[in-house]
């Protein structure tokens, strides 16, 4: 199993940088005062498709051979990765097949269709999704681009931290959310490759704490029926992301649902930017652990800003 | 009645520029495609206190004599102007007295109190507000800083358009919301002072269309019981703002409530920034009048981002 190094993430960055948005790093005096530390928000909510996922998807697509590109890509996802892969494929003239559960919200179906992807609907079970994906791969020869269990995807996700540290190199701590672990893997490999003294922390909902348990016990332990408003963090670590996280991450902290919602609203109200619940976990970590973060310079990876305003969790 | 000229707005800008945020001009490919024009959003939602009001309040405070400053300032408002004046006064070591109806939302009371202002509560009628304000003026000698019927406030509000045109000088049209008319007055005086060929349009809720009626008939006609989700636009023009608008504004367009809400959500979803309903009126104007705006370069003054997420209008 190949583990990404800083050079892999730098190579990914060279590959994707003309396709992605270089997102801003925002700060807030009010939030710095409130939590008595210096917060630097790396705003992937302003990334194309509204999430960091576009970095990984683009790197995966650009890393394919010409022969592979002719046959297209496939993934199963109903979230940000589906939209990201659809757009990355379209921008490179590649066919994208997305397997989605027939129960996926209409807004997500429309987003993926809007990027020109071919959608295959299936029953809302993991087995049905994997079967449908396999069938497409057999029929078309399309390359599977897994949302996080994929070396090139992970390297792409790590480029958000690369941009952050290129602009702000004196951070004490970097915090990223953890679901399947693609973002945290890429972030931690990048940060530790640049400076081992910078702490890397994963932020995870208490109600979907498979990464916390796996990290604490050393045994990969998937979630069973996770239930959190942070809908981007329902997935569990893979062998690959777990290996990278074990090597590079200092600790994983869990946060409560009410803190996630409170911190999401705080960012909306004070910073006037939309972040999704998954992104709010990083600020929730700061809020729930004041002693760990007081006086520190902290980079927060804000993973995305895709919120369904007709179904708010408060 | 003295009408502001470009030189007055430039002088205001020199006075306030070290106190205010220089706010960004954002763009959105998706919205440009959707409306077939080029939109430049001047984002006063990122201004201090979350609204352009801080510009006018700061200019008014800085324009006072030393003797006046010793006696403090007073205003009656429950909205963004109250918070703006409270902060502008605090930043300059001046005492602020704010008269608020006792029925004002707790969140607004807390915001104003948080900026260190002294609050006087009164019954929720205009008469009670004016009486309480007069009493404070008589007792303390404080200077009244009206939210919009004030030359220095208007000049301050015009500095948002000044920053916009300094960065983007080839606009065809500038649109600003109109309530009491302070922002539209300052914006139009600035824009026409720089380039008479740029059209200036006021955006007003159909349900609070006193400016539209006054502008159409040439007779100042206050609103009676306006009812709109754009809570910053409930006020009516004053003689002063009406004079400036008559001189400098090309037209006033009204927009429906459902378009305001739709456009507010569109900006939240596509641009990942929070704008308040009053600000959404400018985009609603573009949406409701495609033939007027097709192919044009349009500056939109986004007035603020203060939204009560527990009382959403959708």
How do residues A237-281 score in pLDDT, each as one tens digit?
Answer: 999 999 999 999 999 999 999 999 999 999 999 999 999 999 999
User: B163 is written with which tokens?
Assistant: 């920053």
Beta strands per DSSP E along chain A: 25-26, 38-43, 73-76, 96-101, 118-122, 143-144, 173-177, 199-205, 251-255, 297-302
Residue B170: DSSP 8-state: -
d(CA A175, CA A278): 12
Beta sheet of B143-144, edge-to-edge order: B118-122, B96-101, B73-76, B143-144
pLDDT (mean) for B244-254: 98
Interface touch B273/A269, C-beta < 8 Å: no
A38 pLDDT higher than 90 = yes
d(CA B112, CA B107): 9
pLDDT (mean) for A50-64: 98
Catalytic residue flag (residue B77): no
Tell me how far CA of residue A270 lies from CA of A264, A277, A310, B47, B109, in angstroms. Answer: 10, 16, 22, 11, 16
Q: Which residues contact A118 (CB under 8 A, 6 or more apart)?
A: A95, A96, A97, A98
pLDDT at residue A110, rounded to an integer: 86
Task: Report the greatest alpha carbon distance in chain A.
Answer: 57
- Torsion angles phi and psi, residue A170, rounded to 5: -110, 35
Nearest CA in chain A to B107: A269
User: A255 is written with which tokens?
Assistant: 């946060």
A6 pLDDT higher than 90 = yes
Which of B63, B78, B214, B278 is the catalytic position? B78
Catalytic residue flag (residue B65): no
d(CA A145, CA A135): 15
| Residue (of A64, A78, A52, A88) closest to A176 by Cα position | A52
Whether the CB-CB separation of B100 and B112 falls below 8 Å is answered with yes
Whether the CB-CB separation of B110 and B104 falls below 8 Å is answered with no
d(CA A204, CA A233): 8
Chain A hits for B272, CB-CB cut-off 8 Å, are 45-46, 50, 273-275, 305
Burial class of residue A215 (count of CB atoms within 10 Å of its CB; 0-12, 13-18, 19+): buried
User: A288 is written with which tokens?
Assistant: 């729930």
d(CA B266, CA B275): 10
Which CATH architecture does the domain made up of A54-150 adopt?
A: 3-Layer(aba) Sandwich (3.40)
Domain parsing of chain B, residue ranges:
6-51+152-302, 54-149
Nearest-Cα distance to chain B for A259, in Å, is 16
Whether the CB-CB separation of A25 and A272 falls below 8 Å is answered with no
| Residue (of A35, A80, A66) closest to A300 by Cα position | A35
| Residue (of A164, A150, A259) closest to A204 by Cα position | A259
Number of other CB atoms surrounding residue B94 within 10 Å: 20
d(CA B98, CA A17): 51
User: Is B2 at the interface with chain A, CB within 8 A?
Assistant: no
pLDDT tens figures, B128-165: 999 999 999 999 999 999 999 999 999 999 999 999 99
Nearest CA in chain B to A271: B46
Q: Which of B272, B280, B314 to mutate to test the interface with A (most CBs of A within 10 A)?
A: B272
Chain A hits for B269, CB-CB cut-off 8 Å, are 274, 307, 309
User: Is B50 at the interface with chain A, CB within 8 A?
Assistant: yes
Interface touch B50/A272, C-beta < 8 Å: yes
pLDDT at residue B103, rounded to an integer: 86
Task: Count the alpha carbons within 13 Å of B10 in the hemisphere toward its beta carbon.
Answer: 8
User: Is B29 at the interface with chain A, CB within 8 A?
Assistant: no
Interface touch B46/A272, C-beta < 8 Å: yes
The mean-pLDDT minimum among A123-127, A168-172, A236-240, B305-309 falls in A123-127
Closest in A45, A50, A272 to B45, CB measured: A272
Q: How confident is the model at residue B109 (pLDDT cuts 50, 70, 90)?
A: confident
- Counting one residue from A and one from B, how many pairs have CB atoms under 8 Å apart? 39
Vertex B215 angle, CA B214 and B219, to 5°: 40
User: B198 is written with which tokens?
Assistant: 């740029």
Instruction: State the alpha helices, DSSP H only, in B231-304.
Output: 239-248, 257-271, 277-288, 290-293
B78 pLDDT higher than 80 = no
Query: In this structure, which topology does domain B6-51+152-302 adopt according to CATH?
Result: Rossmann fold (3.40.50)
Which CATH architecture does the domain made up of B54-149 adopt?
A: 3-Layer(aba) Sandwich (3.40)
d(CA B260, CA B284): 5
Which of A53, A108, A192, A287 is the catalytic position? A53
Tell how strand A25-26 and strand A38-43 pair up.
antiparallel
**Model pTM?**
0.95
User: A121 is written with which tokens?
Assistant: 């609907």
A78 pLDDT higher than 80 = no
> Long-range contacts: A7-11, Cβ < 8 Å, 24+?
A7/A193, A8/A151, A8/A155, A8/A189, A9/A155, A9/A158, A9/A159, A9/A161, A9/A162, A9/A186, A9/A189, A9/A190, A9/A193, A10/A162, A11/A155
pLDDT (mean) for B6-12: 98
Closest in A274, A310, A312 to B274, CB measured: A274
Which of A42, A63, A77, A78 is the catalytic position? A78
Interface touch B309/A274, C-beta < 8 Å: no
Chain A hits for B46, CB-CB cut-off 8 Å, are 272
Whether the CB-CB separation of B157 and B55 falls below 8 Å is answered with yes
b (16+ CB within 10 A) / e for A224-234: eebebbbbbbb
A55 pLDDT higher than 80 = yes
pLDDT at residue B141, rounded to an integer: 97
Nearest-Cα distance to chain A for B49, in Å, is 9
User: Is A309 at the interface with chain B, CB within 8 A?
Assistant: yes
What residues form DSSP beta bridges with B252? B202
pLDDT at residue B220, rounded to an integer: 97
Q: Which residues contact A121 (CB under 8 A, 6 or more apart)?
A: A99, A100, A101, A102
A103 pLDDT higher than 90 = no
Burial class of residue B109 (count of CB atoms within 10 Å of its CB; 0-12, 13-18, 19+): middle
Interface touch A269/B309, C-beta < 8 Å: yes
pLDDT at residue A267, rounded to an integer: 98
Nearest CA in chain B to A265: B309
User: Is A45 at the interface with chain B, CB within 8 A?
Assistant: yes
Nearest CA in chain A to B305: A272
Scan residues 212-271 of B and list those with Cβ closer than 8 Å to A.
Answer: 265, 268-269
The mean-pLDDT minimum among A296-305, B221-230, B244-253, B293-302 falls in B221-230
What residues form DSSP beta bridges with A173? A199, A298
Task: Report the greatest alpha carbon distance in chain B.
Answer: 57
User: B187 is written with which tokens?
Assistant: 């914006």
Closest in A265, A272, A310 to B305, CB measured: A272
Q: Which residues contact B39 (CB under 8 A, 6 or more apart)?
A: B27, B28, B31, B32, B283, B286, B298, B300
Q: Which residues contact B124 (CB under 8 A, 6 or more apart)?
A: B101, B102, B103
pLDDT at residue A107, rounded to an integer: 78
pLDDT at residue B105, rounded to an integer: 79
pLDDT (mean) for A196-206: 98
């Amino acid at each position: 199993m190949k583990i990404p190094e800083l050079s892999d993430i730098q190579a990914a960055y060279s590959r994707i940088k003309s396709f992605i948005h270089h997102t801003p790093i925002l700060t807030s005096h009010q939030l710095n005062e409130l939590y008595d530390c210096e917060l630097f928000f790396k705003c992937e909510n302003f990334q194309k498709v509204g999430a960091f996922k576009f970095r990984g998807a683009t790197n995966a697509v650009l890393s394919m051979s010409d022969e592979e590109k002719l046959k297209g890509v496939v993934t199963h996802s109903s979230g940000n990765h589906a939209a990201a892969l659809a757009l990355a494929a379209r921008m490179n003239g590649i066919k994208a097949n997305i397997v989605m559960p027939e129960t996926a919200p209409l807004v997500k179906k429309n987003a993926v269709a809007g990027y020109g992807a071919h959608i295959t609907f299936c029953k809302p079970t993991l087995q049905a999704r994997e079967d449908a994906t396999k069938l497409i791969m057999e029929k078309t020869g399309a390359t599977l681009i897994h949302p996080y269990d994929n070396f090139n995807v992970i390297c792409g996700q790590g480029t958000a931290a690369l941009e952050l540290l290129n602009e702000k190199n004196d951070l004490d701590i970097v915090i990223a959310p953890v679901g399947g672990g693609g973002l945290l893997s890429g972030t931690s490999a990048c940060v530790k490759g640049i400076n081992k003294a910078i702490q890397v922390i994963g932020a995870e909902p208490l109600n979907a704490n498979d990464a916390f348990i796996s990290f604490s016990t050393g045994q990969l332990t998937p979630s069973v029926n996770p239930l959190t408003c942070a809908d981007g963090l329902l997935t569990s670590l893979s062998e690959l992301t777990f290996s990278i996280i074990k090597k590079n991450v200092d600790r994983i902290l869990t946060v409560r649902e009410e803190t996630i919602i409170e911190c999401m609203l705080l960012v909306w109200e004070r910073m006037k930017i939309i972040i999704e619940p998954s992104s709010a976990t990083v600020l929730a970590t700061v809020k729930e652990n004041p002693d760990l973060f007081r006086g520190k310079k902290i980079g927060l990876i804000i993973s995305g800003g895709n919120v369904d305003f007709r179904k708010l969790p408060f």
